A and B are shown apart, each in its own frame.
Chain A
Amino acid sequence: MKKLHDLIGKKGKAFWRSIEELAGDPEIQDCVKHEFPQTGALWDIPMTRRSFLKFMGAQIMMLYLAGCSRTLPDKIVPYVKSPEEIIPGRPLFFASALSYAGFGRGVLVESNMGRPTKIEGNPQHPDSLGFTDAITQALLYQLYDPDRSDMVMEKGLPSSWEDFKNVLQQRLMELKKSQGRGLRFLSKPIISPSLAFARQNILKKYPLAQWHQYSALYQDYSRKAYFEIFGKEVQPIYHVEKADRILSIESDFLTQGAGAIAYSSSFANRRGGDKKEHINRLYALESTPTLTGSMADHRLVMPPTQLGNSLAFLCRQLGLGHVSYNSNLSNRDQDQLNAIAQDLREHHGRSLVVAGSQQPVPIQMMVCYLNDTLHNVGNTIDYLPVIEELPEDMTMSLRQLTNDLNKGEVTDLIVLDVNPVYASPYDLHFLKAFQKADFKVHGGLYFDETAQVSDWHIPMTHELESWGDTKAFDGTVSIRQPLMGPLYNGRNVYEISSIFLEEEYRSSLEAVRSFWKRRLDRLDFDFFWEKTVHDGVMEGTSFKPINHSPQIHYVTTPPIDNALTLLIRPDPYILDGEFSNNSLLQELPKPLTRLTWDNAVLISPKTAASLDLSNGEGIEIAYNDRLLEAPVWILPGQANQTLTIHLGYGRSQPGLIGNKLGFNAYELLNSSFPYELMGISVRKTGRHFSLANVQHHSMIDSKRHPVIVGNLSDYEHDPAFAARKTDSPQPAETLYEPKEHLHGQYQWGMLIDLNRCTGCSACTMACQVENNIPVVGKEQVMNHREMHWIRVDRYYDGSIDHPKIYHQPIPCMQCENAPCEVVCPVEATSHSEEGLNEMTYNRCIGTRYCSNNCPYKVRRFNFYEFAKPQRTTALHLSQNPDVTVRARGVMEKCTYCVQRINKARIDAKNENRTIRDGEIVPACQQACPAGAIVFGNITDSNAKVSQAKASPLNYGLLEELGTRPRTTYLAKIINPNPKMEPDHG
């Protein structure tokens, strides 16, 4: 490999996937040529030729004998009284809500005869609009997770709920006498109104007790800034669809956090398709790349201090005299920022400035003033009350608890569904303080780090196992409906609080329902309740915007500092560690880095070159007296002198899946500067870590550009530029007859709009859950054996320091001239008359010729009995009954969700009609918040998919091979500011 130094500042070939590829590493060429480059070395069983033949002979004999076996008759167990609404074989959908990362999301959960099997979005819910993200899809795994705790534990030994209740009641007798002195609770920030009510009642009964809230995903910075400006706890809500110009300050508002789905959907509506009159323009200023940044028309990369100064410069240009900056920016930067300022000014009232929640207070304040001065408030942004029932500074809250613990003021500590022993800043030394309490109770889904050092651990119910309520980002209340009883003996929070209140516990339904009955006080409550539960949203509960003029404060930004800076962020999928044991999320390639099963220190190519580092090499980060060893990952698009690490890894007690993965970034999480550590030092340790990265897997060998991109001006000038760029043979140009067997009434096709796709991987996860796709584990991912049927390829274009970033989802292309079909010796893969490239698992003998011949590399092989863990644990309950569970030695791939096609076809035929457009929605399309995927009958000229495919932007991947893919793409149009230099030199 060429030295990293040589690549800095140079413009490489167009569309490269990794630095190694850009450098022309021969190993990468091997990856392009061979799907499994290392397979040859994997046979490590010592066996002589003779014994091999003996085993083969025995195997054939046994196969023959197995064929003669007579299967034992199965049993059928019917209902005693069949529930009225259940028709066996037809799933039911129930509205419910899930809350993680501090906000609620309405969902519809598919239930197959009582088993929840899939989570879809609730179209009526403002945070879902019918779509989901990857985490929401994967929450189903958490419900069934065999590692969930299923027993009350006393000091690590099994006990019972009754024993716990007795002990607790005795403690409470004492506590009542002292009015609750020394009693403390610690929970996540409460957004559930009924839980807040329970809390209020408990504190009324024990007036000297206190309730603390903590989560490492807090939004303290933005809250603090807004509180200073408005004198009130407020949060912003964006109207992305109204914004013509958006400036994002390292904010991942399109894929992360509250409202992301709604924002992504509105953003995509301004970018998608081929009508570009209303195209918006997105600027991003970033130190570490985000998916939102990858969608930007201009992405300016700069270290954090420069970011603050650049924004301050922008504020000054827009007339904010009370913002000062104290560093000189280069002329080039000033020109760029001037152009942005002018563009924003010209679009005042229709522009929007957004800051990431981890940005420091001065930046949050500047963004607030910018939106005000640009007249965006009331147009593209509104301020709403916060959704937390009891907003407070969570770091302060935890610090106070720790101090009180250290002072010996806390005797009884009840920790509910948080894991502070693992997920808290190092400088609080929470573990040491925690052990000073006499009576420590931990309630949660897992027997985690905090449970280990607690006196008692009680298993709690998953969200889908008990009633509850939650709020969306705009305040809309949803009632959470359970889909099943507690699978692992869990208790819900209302039952636990009933012990403290010395009330008789009836049920979580009764607790939630009676709360709302009292709160709403309506005559038609019964009807209203039924409707709310059915719809998944409570009418009339969304917040009204607050009208407050901001108070003017002076804002200063720290000067530009070239010191090495460390940014600490929650992991995009594992978050603060809550989902460590979720194998689906662990194996989902992380955005931009494409890492699985690990976290790493993200570092820019230039900084890596100066430290002589390559991917996977260990470094030791030192901050004051803190040391942390971790592998590096070189990430093009990362700012120089800036490192990024993600929380959520390095856990000691997550369960079988999350054990010994990655490093613990909490070791460097400081409660005073949680997201940014200035002045760290770094030393190369010489250790090498093996990381499971998928960026070189399933590589397409394309001579032409896989992603076609054009500027808006080029497109307006020459709408058909995409077709010219692909240079593909026209459909008529073939020596053969058109496929005569494609005579079905419907011809299925798919279109993926690259203008809309943000690369969030919701499609990958939705597909995995829908199609019973197994997880293979880190070791097998390193052998290129991950099983995702639809992957999202990430491409770079331009220089190594500052490339443009593109995403391209790749499902099976369902080629009309499928190369895989002709090489199958047993016809296990064949073509249907409706144009589907079918895969028949029971015919497959595992030659893998098809996969070898597939130019798109979308076929996946079961090298081992990957589905076995699902069969032997409660996980088998989560499987989709309409999709075969594949055995070892069988090839599989995207089927366009043929089970859904068949279902719709049968329904249509039973009703004597044709299938309507939009009736069949594959899992990927259903999940995609951006609406980037459209599926339908391409012979119906009125179908959405046909209309979209008629666009001049339509092109097929590797069309030049003559495969005639049924899945095609819309070329991406970017809308750069003509007054600015293009992004990459």
Chain B
Amino acid sequence: MTQLFKPKDNDIFRAVIVGTFVLLIVALMYSDLLQGSSYLTRKGTDVEQPIPFSHKHHVGGLGIDCRFCHTSVEKSSYAGIPSTEICMKCHREIWKDSPVLEPVRRSFRTGKPLVWNRVHNLPDFVYFNHSIHVHKGISCLTCHGQVDRMSLMHKEHTLYMSWCLNCHQHPGNYIGPVNKVFDMRSKEPKEHSQRVYYSPYHIKQITNCSACHH
């Protein structure tokens, strides 16, 4: 009976063993990359909307305050999506015949609401509150990015828990003056960072689970 394995098979086996480990590590790294990739998180991907509403034009160009449309951002957990009526406040007069705005006019005429595609979506077991963040000096920019430069809206960050914790563990790096929260032209808060606002705003590191999960 001839031998089943030859001496050079040892090398093949070694290569296979090492190769398996290498493959495993590559697979893990790949899946980690995939998790954070814009493909899965849609970070940085413009979201198509029924009306090509441009924040760049309205905020950057015209300088409309965030709260003009997102009315409940200071009072509630939700920032609020503007009702058709809010759009029509201006567009009754401006661009009133534009075909692009026909869905808005139709909604106003018929009473059927507009249906937008959601850009920022949190899982159902996460409770985020806008009002407390804007009251404590977290600028809109910090989470939503330079909205005044976005034509179509996209997500600036992954909205993963690790991203939330970046700030919740080191709030000083992100907190700016409360009166500049809605100011799109203000400098990135990171630059004046530190803890200057810790005591005036009673800032704490809130990292306990039930702060967001209940």
On A, residues with C-beta under 8 Å from B are 68, 70-71, 73-82, 87-90, 830, 832-834, 836, 838, 840-843, 882-885, 895, 898-899, 902, 906, 909-910, 912
Known A-B contacts A78-B83, A842-B125; the reply to A830 vs B214 at CB < 8 A is no
Given contact pairs A88-B80, A882-B214, A906-B132, enumerate 9 new A-B contacts (beta carbons under 8 Å): A73-B42, A74-B121, A78-B113, A82-B71, A88-B76, A89-B72, A90-B75, A830-B209, A841-B213
- Is B9 an interface residue when CB atoms closer than 8 A count as contact? no
Residues of chain A lying within 8 A (CB to CB) of residue B80: 78, 87-88
Asked whether A82 lies within 8 Å of B131 as measured between CB atoms, the reply is no
B210–A840 CB distance below 8 A: yes
Ranked 4 nearest A-B pairs via Cβ: A89-B76, A832-B208, A74-B118, A78-B81
The residues of A that contact B127 with a CB separation of less than 8 Å are 882, 899, 902
**CB <8 Å contact, B39 and A73:** no
B97 within 8 A of A: no
B125 near A884 with CB under 8 A, answer: yes
Q: Is the CB of A76 within 8 A of B129?
A: no
Taking CB atoms and an 8 Å cut-off, the chain B residues in 110-132 that contact chain A are 111-119, 121, 123-125, 127, 129, 131-132
B113 touches A909 (CB 8 A): no
Cross-chain contact A79 with B113 (CB below 8 angstroms)? yes
Asked whether B135 is an interface residue with its Cβ less than 8 Å from the other chain, the reply is yes
Q: Does B85 contact A (CB under 8 A)?
A: yes
In the complex, chain B residues 131-145 whose Cβ is within 8 Å of any chain A Cβ: 131-132, 135-136
B35: nearest chain-A partner, CB-CB: A67
In whole angstroms, how far apart are the Cα atoms of A373 and B123 in the complex? 68
- Smallest Cβ distance from B134 to chain A, in angstroms? 9
- Asked if A895 and B116 make an inter-chain contact with CB atoms under 8 angstroms apart, the answer reads no
Question: Is the Cβ of B108 less than 8 Å from the Cβ of A73?
Answer: no
Q: Is B82 an interface residue (CB 8 A)?
A: yes
Does the CB pair B34–A909 fall under 8 Å?
Answer: no
B39 to chain A, nearest CB (A): 7
B161, closest chain A residue (CB): A842
Q: Which residues of B contact A (CB under 8 A)?
A: 31, 34, 39-40, 42, 47, 71-72, 74-78, 80-86, 107-108, 111-119, 121, 123-125, 127, 129, 131-132, 135-136, 202, 208-211, 213-214
Which residues of chain A come closer than 8 Å to B125, judged between CB atoms? 841-842, 884
| Chain A proximity of B78: nearest CB distance (Å) | 4
Q: A836 contacts which chain B residues (CB < 8 A)?
A: 208, 210
Q: Across the interface, do B85 and A90 meet the contact criterion of CB distance under 8 Å?
A: no
> Which of B108, B117, B129, B202 contacts A80, CB < 8 Å?
B108
* A–B pairs, 22, beta carbons within 8 Å: A70-B40, A73-B117, A73-B119, A76-B81, A76-B116, A77-B114, A77-B116, A78-B80, A78-B82, A78-B83, A80-B111, A80-B113, A81-B84, A82-B85, A830-B208, A834-B208, A838-B209, A841-B213, A884-B214, A885-B124, A906-B131, A909-B136
Q: Which chain B positions have C-beta within 8 A of A78?
A: 80-84, 113-114, 116
- Find chain B residues with CB under 8 A from A902 CB: 127, 129, 210-211, 214
A-chain residues with CB within 8 Å of residue B83 when the two chains form the complex: 78-82
In the bound complex, CA of A190 to CA of B135 (Å): 53
What residue of chain B has the Cβ atom nearest to residue A834's Cβ?
B208
A284 to B119, CA, bound (A): 65
Task: Using A68-B34, A885-B124, A902-B214 as known contacts, say yes or no to A76 and B75 having CB atoms under 8 A apart.
Answer: no
A73 touches B118 (CB 8 A): yes
Q: Tell me the smallest distance from the CB of A597 to a CB of chain B, in Å.
A: 30
Q: Residue B214 contacts which of A834, A883, A912 (CB distance < 8 angstroms)?
A: A883
A910 partner, pick from B47, B82, B86, B135, beta carbons under 8 A? B135
User: CB-CB < 8 A to A79: which residues of B?
Assistant: 83-85, 113
Q: How far is the CB of B51 from chain A (nearest CB, A)?
A: 12
Which A residues are in CB contact (< 8 Å) with B116? Answer: 75-78
In contact, A838 and B210 (Cβ under 8 angstroms): yes
Q: Is the CB of A87 within 8 A of B72?
A: yes
Minimum Cβ distance to chain A for residue B146 (Å) = 22
Q: Which residues of A contact B76 (CB under 8 A)?
A: 87-90
Given A80-B85, A830-B209: A910 in contact with B131 (beta carbons within 8 A)? yes
Residue with the greatest number of chain A CB neighbours at <10 A, chosen from B31, B119, B125, B131: B125
What's the nearest-Cβ distance from chain A to residue B203, in Å? 10
Would A77 and B115 count as touching, CB distance under 8 A? yes
Give the shortest distance, in Å, between A15 (CB) and chain B (any CB): 34
CA gap between A728 and B123 in the complex, in Å = 44
Task: Say whether B131 contacts A80, CB under 8 Å.
Answer: no
List B contacts of A80 (CB < 8 A): 83-85, 107-108, 111-113
* Complex Cα gap A386–B26 (Å): 82
B115 touches A75 (CB 8 A): yes
- A114 → B minimal CB distance (Å): 13
Query: Measured between C-beta atoms, what is the minimum distance from A89 to chain B in Å?
Result: 4
Contacts of A906 in B (CB 8 A): 129, 131-132
Q: Give complex CA distance A17, B214 in Å.
A: 33
Residue of A nearest to B112 (CB): A80
Asked whether A840 lies within 8 Å of B124 as measured between CB atoms, the reply is no
Distance of A912 Cα from B85 Cα, bound (Å): 33
Q: From B74, which residue of chain A is reached at the shortest CB distance?
A: A910
Question: Are B213's CB and A89's CB within 8 A?
Answer: no
Q: Which of chain A's residues has its CB closest to B108's CB?
A: A80
For residue B114, which residues in chain A have a CB less than 8 angstroms away from its CB? 77-78
Contact status B72-A842, CB under 8 Å: no
B108: which A residues are within 8 A, CB to CB? Answer: 80
Asked whether, in the complex, the Cβ of B121 is within 8 Å of the Cβ of A884, the reply is no
Which residues of B are found within 8 Å of A81, using beta-carbon distances? 83-85
A79 (CB) vs chain B CBs: closest residue: B83
Chain B residues positioned under 8 Å from A843 (CB to CB): 209
Contacts of B129 in A (CB 8 A): 902, 906
Cβ-closest chain A residue relative to B76: A89
**A-side contacts of B131, CB under 8 Å:** 906, 910
Q: How far is the CB of A61 from chain B (nearest CB, A)?
A: 14
Contacts of B111 in A (CB 8 A): 80
The answer to whether A76 and B123 touch (CB under 8 A), given A81-B83, A90-B76, A899-B214, is no
Q: Which residue of B lies closest to A75 (CB)?
A: B115
Residue of B nearest to A113 (CB): B78
Assess the B209–A76 pair: CB atoms within 8 A: no
Q: Which residue of A lies closest to B132 (CB)?
A: A906
Q: Which residues of B contact A840 (CB under 8 A)?
A: 209-210, 213
B117 partner residues in chain A, CB cutoff 8 A: 73-76
Residues of chain A within 8 A of B84, CB atoms compared: 78-81
Say whether A898 contacts B210, CB under 8 Å. Answer: yes
Interface pair A73/B47, CB less than 8 Å apart = yes
Determine how close the nearest CB of chain A comes to the CB of B150; give it in whole angstroms. Answer: 16
Contact status A76-B115, CB under 8 Å: yes
A74, B214: Cα distance in complex, Å: 22
Residues in A with CB closer than 8 Å to B136 are 909
When distances are taken between beta carbons in the complex, the residues of chain B under 8 Å from A75 are 115-118
Q: CB-nearest residue of chain A relative to B117?
A: A73
